Amino acid sequence: MKTGFCSGWVSCLTSAAVVGGTVFVPLASAAAAMGSPNPFQNAQVGLTYPVYQPTTTLGLPRSSFKLFSCGVGKEESLFATYGTAYTPSTNFGKTKGFSVSEGYPMFCANPGISKSVATRTVGGAIIHVSVYCDPSQFKNCTLASGVKNGYLLQWSQPYKPTQTLKKRTQIYLDTSLLTLAQALSIAGGLTPA
């Protein structure tokens, strides 16, 4: 059981804003204003790690896209949301949606309190599956609880030999009212921007 993630590539932050189940430093970047109508391609211009965008969105429209500062001399992290579960954040668990968060070599966030429940392999990536649960409910928190409580999928995205940027982007996928199969489908549908 885990009461939160603060591993080697996750920086625990104490003074930050909460968006969905993930905590972020609220400093947006100018890199998002590069000129393309595709914000993922715009972000790639200013970042040295591969940026991925979902091709599977379950028909949910993108509701936000932001880059967050991880501090001086560190790469920014990307945060994109689909659906209405995160707008406002009080919709989490009430409406369908998901968020994709990316960073390298770490992601500047603490995803919140979750219980590690499984691993899955998708496209060569080992995905760590957790379920958001109140610590007092950990005993009853199962893989099936993720539909109601939200799943947190975390992995290092393998790069393809044809990619120019040879870094393994760290990715979080948060869900609200989606099945694990839907979450894994979104994870498997991420493509380089």
- CA torsion sign, 56 to 40 to 77 to 81? negative
- 171's enclosing H/E stretch is strand 170-176
Residue 9 DSSP class: T
Q: Are 42 and 53 in contact (CB under 8 A)?
A: no
pLDDT at 31: 43
pLDDT at 107: 80
Q: Which two tokens stand for residue 36?
A: 């393309």
pLDDT at 161: 81
pLDDT at 34: 54
Q: Which two tokens stand for residue 6?
A: 């603060």
Task: Give CA 2 to chain center in angstroms.
Answer: 18
Residue 74 DSSP class: S
Pairwise CA distance, residues 175 & 191, whole Å: 19
Could you state, in chain order, the average pLDDT of each consecutive group of 10 residues for the chain (193 residues)? 34 34 42 71 94 97 94 92 90 93 87 93 95 92 95 92 87 97 97 93
pTM of the model: 0.80
Helix, strand, coil percentages for the chain (3-state, nearest 5): 20, 35, 45
pLDDT, one tens digit per residue, over 20-33 is: 444 443 334 444 44
